[in-house]
Amino acid sequence: MKKQAFNPYLPSWEYVPDGEPYLIGGRVYVFGSHDHFGGKEYCPGDYVCWSAPEDDLGDWRYEGVIYRKTQDPLATPRDRVLFAPDVVQGRDGRWYLYYTLASNGIMSVAVCDTPAGPYEYLGAVRTADGHIIGSVAGDLFQFDPGVLMDDDGCVYLYSGFSPRPGPWADEIFCGKVGDGAYCMQLADDMLTVVRGPVRIAEGVCCAQGTSFEEHPFFEASSIRKIGGKYYFSYSSVHMHELCYAVSDSPMGGFSYRGVLVSNGDVGFEGRAYRDALNYMGNDHGGLVCVKGQWYAFYHRHTNRSVYSRQTCAEAIKFRDGAFSQAELTSCGLNGGPLKGAGYYPAYIACNLVSAHGVCFSDRAGENDPCFTQDGGDREGGDPQYIAGLRKGAWAGFKYFDLTKTKTICVTARGAGGLLVVSDTEGELARIRLQESKEWTKHPADLLRQSGERAALFLRYEGDGSIDLKGFLLTE
């Protein structure tokens, strides 16, 4: 039997954000940066890679560490942070890994004979005279690469960083250019720029009057070629959303087209920011088509922090050359609803909302629920759980086939009180919780059976707070 696929699709102890997915030789490989649980900065870990068979997207395999931050000779102790990478296969058949160290504005390259590494340092992106781009004031500030090998063998590198103006941005840029996304064509050596850089998407400082005015470019460049057109995805200055633009040319003419996914579900079916369904923060990901189905990869935030992010994915509709915004779900790569029988960990909730709504993750406090784990950063061990559900807070799980489901048994700890189980039509059960410091099971019969694509919501009504580990559904 194939494994069911959840969000996040990697083990709950793994914190890989910025996931770029590629279908290579019958497997989907995901390349991203590497956060730590309880981390105090972005991307402190070495690059790792995970992959899954294209016909079993619930069966992810750890490919190991593919590149270490100590391998780059330009890295000082202050710069040993590997931000979001991207990979591409060169004309020579080898694989090239593009990345930036911390915020130095320089794009480095590593190379390997296989996509899953290990990679070895090759050099930095430069001009024909050997000048390393990003090394002096006036250069393009390179950040978050997107790389494309076109049908004719030409290689294009997309990059850029364009936050809202302010002292913080001035300190980062040090006089370098950060007003949008840029494209450069590279020579066969995969290092030397032969055309560009050319700006292809406007940042907030120059977006007025352009198609990017309402969703200016911020970061997270990603590029795909679909049906002869170029699809450029990016994170906007709104921080919670991945947008996309389309052009007939790889080096210009891009026009904003829409939102791919929001890690708060803002904009989906017209949802306003005030009605967001998850704690939000910066986002980064990419697109991949597997067996005719497109998926949008993105990341979520955990532990009331912006430094412990996890990669997720959603099926996304593509029709007549356009993508429709994907909805946050618990079953993103599963190919349909989850089964209505079996045990489900609470950390696969796609919606997590307090009684007063949600906020950006860096503003969350002790009264906000969160996804977390016991202990420090690790490999293996007990899974994540939802902590800090207070009165009126709820977790949502989408979607299940509940046409035959008759009972639910919730595992929780903390204060007593009432846990209300419902779907979109109304209540399914009311569970009286016993106060307990240990994980305790609380069973209940469902009042009725639900649909074949049903959402399941668990709302806490009581004094104090509870932690939610998971629940068992039976038919």
pLDDT-derived band at 230 (thresholds 50, 70, 90) equals: very high
Residue-number span of the structural domain to which 468 is assigned: 342-474
Q: Which residues are catalytic?
A: 18, 219
Do residues 117 and 183 both lie within one domain?
yes
Chain position carrying tokens 């793994």 = 14
Query: 454 lies in a domain?
Result: yes
Query: 7 lies in a domain?
Result: no
Residues 6+ apart with CB under 8 A from 1: none
Average pLDDT of span 40-56: 97
Percent of the chain with pLDDT strictly greater than 70 = 100
Do residues 186 and 307 both lie within one domain?
yes
Do residues 131 and 273 both lie within one domain?
yes
Q: What phi and psi values does residue 118 have, to the nearest 5 degrees?
A: -80, 145
- At 396-412, the pLDDT tens digits run 999 999 999 999 999 99
| Number of domains composing the chain | 2
Beta strands of 407-448 (E only): which ranges?
A: 407-414, 417-423, 426-433, 436-445
Instruction: Name the average pLDDT for the chain.
Output: 97
Kindly provide the b/e burial profile for residues 346-380, where b requires at least 16 CB atoms within 10 angstroms of the residue's own CB: bbbbbbbbbeeebbbbeebeeebbbbbbeeeeeee
Do residues 68 and 190 both lie within one domain?
yes
pLDDT tops 60 at residue 228: yes
Helix (H, G, I), strand (E, B) or coil at 169: helix
- At 330-360, the pLDDT tens digits run 999 999 999 999 999 999 999 999 999 999 9
Neighbours of 61 (CB within 10 A): 13
Q: What is the pLDDT of residue 7?
A: 98
Do residues 456 and 318 both lie within one domain?
no
Kindly provide the b/e burial profile for residues 386-424, where b requires at least 16 CB atoms within 10 angstroms of the residue's own CB: bbbbbbebbbbbbbbbbeebeebebbbbbbebebebbbe
294 contacts 323 by C-beta, under 8 angstroms = yes
- At 154-163, the pLDDT tens digits run 999 999 999 9
- Taking phi first (over 0 means left), then psi (-120 to 50 degrees means alpha), and beta for anything else, what does residue 357 get? left
pLDDT-derived band at 387 (thresholds 50, 70, 90) equals: very high
pLDDT tops 60 at residue 1: no
Domain boundary among 272, 294, 323: 323
- At 186-200, the pLDDT tens digits run 999 999 999 999 999
Domain boundary among 258, 288, 323: 323
Query: 330 lies in a domain?
Result: no
Do residues 54 and 181 both lie within one domain?
yes
Average pLDDT of span 130-142: 96
Do residues 166 and 31 both lie within one domain?
yes
Average pLDDT of span 116-144: 97
> What string of DSSP letters covers 234-298?
EEETTSSEEEEEEESBTTB--EEEEEEEETT-TTGGG--GGG-SS-B------EEEETTEEEEEE
Average pLDDT of span 417-435: 97
pLDDT-derived band at 45 (thresholds 50, 70, 90) equals: very high
The pTM of this model reads 0.97
pLDDT-derived band at 35 (thresholds 50, 70, 90) equals: very high
